[in-house]
Amino acid sequence: MKKALFTVLSCLLALTVSACGSSGQSQSTSGNDSSNGAAAPAESSAPAKEKYVFGTDATYPPFEFEKDGKYVGIDIDLLNAIAEAEGFEIEIKPMDFKGIIPGITSKQLDGAAAGISITDERKQVIDFSEPYYQAGLSLVVRADNETIKNPEDLKGKTIAIKKGTTGAKFAEELAQKYGAEIKYFDDSPAMFQEVVNGNADVTLEDYPVVSYKIAVDPNSNLKIVGDRLNGDYYGIGVAKGNEELLKKINDGLKKVQESGKYDEIIKTYLGEQK
Amino acid sequence: MKSSWQVIVDALPILAKGLLVTIEITVLALIIALIIGLFIGLMNTARTKILRSIGTVYIDIIRGTPLLVQIFIIYFGIPYALDFQIDEFVAGIAAISLNASAYLAEIFRAGIQSVDGGQMEAARSLGLTRGQAMRLVVLPQAVRRMIPAFVNQAIVSMKDTSLLTVIGIRELTNSGEIIISGNYRFFEIWITVAVFYFVFIHLLTLFSRYLEKRLAN
């Protein structure tokens, strides 16, 4: 009995070790691919393409979200179109938004497309592509809320926001100015749920994201109040100093915009609205 | 660019506030968990089969689901389904204490069963009721043996409170994340957060060793 158990266990161990070994191997080859591109082994007939790792917020429709097991959305499609136009490969890494900029600065990521608003603070730690979309923040409340119409009504209210976002920064300023309280969350669904459940009165989110949510989910129980609070532009983030990738992205973005592919992508997700 | 020391010094007051919240939640949750855990643990050593089954089901359900999922269910799920509001602290303490109580129940059960059966029989033959025998004879001996396991659970629960960051409680981990999302100094801040946890948990460990020594005599 003991012997049989031992045999089974050692088989399992051998399997794990060999599996680890082979996965380690494949990792190191792909590492070579990206580091010396053209010097890839001769057996692959097609020239090896550069491969870049891009971070993205996992739960941010319509810019990035999962559909039928695949990541889709404006940012994802745009990245793919740019990569195709410029002839490089991308790997998408979905994560919490707050992990994205640290991911780029610590070189875990080569870049990121995650509806990242271009701000001066962020420009100090990462580089940005040319702007590709104008978003802007909106106040969002529960559908039955009649007390909050504009930022002045925030006195004594609770604002739910997502860590590391321009919305968070804006809310911190509003909170100081009007005396509101802030609760920080990791992703947009948690933040919206907080408002729907009534634990927070209001949230700040980029206009296209909320309007998309309300459009595709009639039971969202949320509404947008007032005008957009600012006019931030989204840019694709790139690790500081990676001029090569930044140039490729800017060139690719231009090509994609000129070919009409950009408008096509926007239309796919947002319809006619801008 | 600010120096590392400056970054840490600036972060200290916010992190200290976060640590206080962490300690507060840990202490309150553990007190509640001890009460529920003792109750369930006693149920599991009861002679009635129905009581034992209830205790087992409770432990199995809680031990069989991840704490993070329990937090989401308590804070976002149930209030949404039943349309009521729950304070995040109440939800956080509920989640941590329910979770810890299942493990504590097992610690209590093991502790009670580790006391020789002759103790209960001797106490009963002296005329004590079963309840009195449990309270006055068995439990005092059991609790002494449970201290290391109990401290272990206290440490685990304290670290578990870091998961409460997902429901917006500004405990130590969340405070660290909030600072980092503003200054992107993840190395300095995470190291400081780790030191905060370590120091407090180490104090707890030292206290437990002292307690064990004292009770050993």
pLDDT tens profile A39-97: 444 444 566 789 999 999 988 999 999 888 888 999 999 999 999 999 999 999 998 89
Is the pLDDT at A274 greater than 50? The verdict is no
Contact partners, residue B191, CB within 8 Å, separation at least 6? none
Q: Is residue A106 domain-shared with residue A66, that is, in the same domain?
A: yes
- To test the contact with chain B by mutation, choose from A197, A203, A219, A221 the residue with the greatest count of B C-beta atoms within 10 A, namely A197
- Those of residues 109-148 in B touching chain A at CB distance below 8 A are none
Q: How many CB atoms lie within 10 A of CB A75?
A: 29
Residue A125 lies in a domain: yes
Is the pLDDT at A116 greater than 60? The verdict is yes
pLDDT tens profile A254-267: 999 999 999 999 99
B76 vs A193: CB contact, 8 Å cut-off? yes
A97: nearest CA partner in chain B: B181
A19 compared with A105, residue with greater pLDDT: A105
Q: What is the pLDDT of residue A40?
A: 43
Residue A184 lies in a domain: yes
> Across chain A, what does the average pLDDT equal?
85
Q: What is the pLDDT of residue A33?
A: 42
Q: Which domains, and CATH codes, for chain B?
A: 4-216 (1.10.3720.10)
Residue A145 lies in a domain: yes
In percent, the amount of chain A with pLDDT more than 90 equals 69
pLDDT tens profile B4-51: 999 999 999 999 999 999 999 999 999 999 999 999 999 999 889 999
- Determine contact, residues A196/B80, Cβ cutoff 8 Å: yes
> Predicted confidence band at A37 (pLDDT cuts at 50, 70, 90)?
very low
Chain B CB contacts of A197 under 8 Å are 76, 79-80, 85-86
- Determine contact, residues B59/B123, Cβ cutoff 8 Å: no
Query: Which of A192, A209, A225 is the last residue in one of the domains?
Result: A225
Q: What predicted TM-score, i.e. pTM, was given to this entire model?
A: 0.76
Is the pLDDT at A152 greater than 60? The verdict is yes
Is the pLDDT at B107 greater than 90? The verdict is yes
Residue A14 lies in a domain: no
Q: What is the pLDDT of residue A3?
A: 61
Contact partners, residue A101, CB within 8 Å, separation at least 6? A112, A116, A122, A125, A126, A164, A237, B184
- Those of residues 152-191 in B touching chain A at CB distance below 8 A are 165-168, 170, 174, 177-178, 180-182, 184, 186
> Predicted confidence band at B214 (pLDDT cuts at 50, 70, 90)?
confident
Q: Is residue A150 domain-shared with residue A202, that is, in the same domain?
A: yes
Residue whose C-alpha is closest to residue B42's, from B113, B94, B126:
B113
Domain that holds residue A197: 137-225
Q: Is residue A148 domain-shared with residue A266, that is, in the same domain?
A: no
Q: Which of A164, A186, A199 sits opposite B166 (nearest CB)?
A: A186
Is the pLDDT at A243 greater than 80? The verdict is yes
Count of domains forming chain A: 2
Q: CATH number for the domain including A129?
A: 3.40.190.10
Residue B98 Cα, gap to closest chain A Cα (Å): 22
- Mean pLDDT over A208-225 rounds to 91
Cα torsion B153, B155, B157, B159 to 10°: value is: -150
Residue A20 lies in a domain: no
- Determine contact, residues B144/B204, Cβ cutoff 8 Å: no
Is the pLDDT at B68 greater than 70? The verdict is yes
Q: Provide the 8-state DSSP code for B135.
A: I
- Determine contact, residues A67/A106, Cβ cutoff 8 Å: no
Sign of CA dihedral A92, A95, A111, A30: negative
Could you give phi then psi for residue B154, rounded to 5 degrees? Answer: -60, -40
Q: Is residue A118 domain-shared with residue A155, that is, in the same domain?
A: no
CA-CA distance, A13 to A54, in Å (whole number)? 34
Q: Is residue A128 domain-shared with residue A239, that is, in the same domain?
A: yes
Query: Which of A192, A208, A225 is the last residue in one of the domains?
Result: A225
- To test the contact with chain A by mutation, choose from B72, B166, B175, B181 the residue with the greatest count of A C-beta atoms within 10 A, namely B181
